[in-house]
Amino acid sequence: MSTTVKILFIILISLFILGLFIISLKFILEKYYPRSKKNKKQPEVQELSKEEESKEIVEEEKVEPKEEKQKEKFDFKEFVTKVRKSPTYKSFKVAVISILIGILLGFLIMVITKPSSSLEGLKRLFIGGFRSKRSIGDVLADAVPIMLTGLAFAFASKTGLFNIGASGQFIVGAVFALYAARLLTLPPVIHWLVCVLAGVLAGAIWGAIPGILKAFFNVSEVIGTIMMNYIGIYLVSIMAVYPPVFDSLYNRIAINHPTAWTPVIGLDKIFGGSKIDIGIFIAIIVAILIFFILKKTTLGYQLKAVGYSSTASKAAGINNKKNIITSMAIAGGLAGLGGVFAYLAKSPLFLSGMSSVPPQGFEGMSVALLANSHPIGIIFTSVFISYLKNSAETLQIVGYNREIASVIIASIIFMAALSKIISIVLDKGFFKKLFKKKPKEEEQLEVKDNV
Partner 1 sequence: MSNFYNFMGLFLMSFIPLMVVAIGAMMSEKGGVTNIALEGIMILGAFCGVLVVKYLGKAVGMNADSSMWLIQGVYLFGMLIAAVAGILVALLHAFASINLAANQIISATAINTLAPALVVFLTMTLSLGQVRGSDEIEVPYALFRFKEMGFLSKIPFIGDLFFKDANLSVFIGIAILITSYIVLYKTRLGLRIRACGEHPEAADSVGINVYKTRYFGTLASGALAGIGGYMLITNIYTVYNGTVAGYGFLAMAVMIFGNWKPFKIALAAAFFSFLTVLASGIAYIPFLENLGFSNEVLKMLPFIATLVVLIFFSKTNQGPRANGVPYQKGGN
C-alpha to C-alpha distance for 447 and 411, rounded to whole angstroms: 46
Smallest gap from residue 144 Cβ to partner 1 (A): 20
Size of the site for partner 1 (CB under 8 A): 53
Compute the least distance from the CB of residue 400 to partner 1, in Å: 6
By CB under 8 A, residue 81 contacts partner 1: no
Interacting span for partner 1 (CB under 8 A) from 25-33, 92-100, 235-243, 248-256: 235-243
Q: Which is nearer to partner 1, 135 or 366 (CB)?
A: 366
Of the candidate residues 16, 32, 350, 414, the single one contacting partner 1 (CB under 8 A): 414
Binding mask 92-111 for partner 1 (x = CB under 8 A): -----------------x--
Query: Which residues in 153-172 contact partner 1 (CB under 8 A)?
Result: 162, 164
Residues 6+ apart with CB under 8 A from 88: 26, 27, 30, 31
The residue (of 296 and 420) whose beta carbon lies closer to partner 1 is: 420
Q: Taking the complex as a whole, how short is the minimal distance between the CB of residue 238 and partner 1, in angstroms?
A: 5
Cα gap 192→189, rounded to integer Å: 5
Site for partner 1 in 258-317 (CB under 8 A): none
Residue 374: φ, ψ to 5°: -95, 125
Please choose, from the candidates 127, 114, 102, the residue with its C-alpha nearest in 3D space to the C-alpha of residue 408: 102
Smallest gap from residue 97 Cβ to partner 1 (A): 15
Binding mask 343-362 for partner 1 (x = CB under 8 A): ----------x-xxx----x
Sole binder of partner 1 in the list 188, 273, 399, 429 (CB under 8 A): 399
Rule CB under 8 A: choose which of 18, 101, 186, 235 binds partner 1.
235
Q: Smallest gap, in angstroms, from Cβ of residue 372 to partner 1?
A: 9
CA distance 199 to 172: 7
The DSSP bridge pattern shows strands 246-247 and 252-253 to be antiparallel
Q: Quick check: 13 binds partner 1 (CB under 8 A)? A: no
Binding partner 1 by CB under 8 A: which of 50, 73, 295, 420?
A: 420
Using CB under 8 A as the binding rule, the residues of this chain from 40 to 59 that contact partner 1 are: 41
C-beta of 167: minimal distance to partner 1 in Å? Answer: 10
Of 2-10, 58-66, 190-198, 225-233: span binding partner 1 (CB under 8 A): 225-233
Which residues inside 369-398 make contact with partner 1, applying CB under 8 A? 369
Residue among 267 and 405 whose Cβ is closer to partner 1: 405
The beta-carbon contacts of 235-242 under 8 Å, at least 24 apart in sequence, are: 235/172, 235/175, 236/171, 236/172, 236/174, 236/175, 236/351, 236/353, 236/354, 237/353, 237/354, 237/355, 239/175, 239/179, 240/175, 240/351, 240/352, 240/353, 241/353
Q: Which of 100, 194, 197, 219 binds partner 1 (CB under 8 A)?
A: 219
* Shorter beta-carbon distance to partner 1: residue 230 or 281: 230
Q: Which of residues 44 and 449 has its CB atom nearest to partner 1 in the complex?
A: 44
* Cα(418)–Cα(105) distance, integer angstroms: 15
Q: What is the closest distance, in whole angstroms, from the C-beta atom of residue 5 to partner 1 in the complex?
A: 27
Q: Interface with partner 1 by CB under 8 A: which residues?
A: 37-38, 41, 109, 113-114, 162, 164, 213, 217-220, 222-224, 226-231, 234-235, 237-238, 353, 355-357, 362, 365-366, 369, 399-401, 403-407, 409-411, 413-414, 416-421
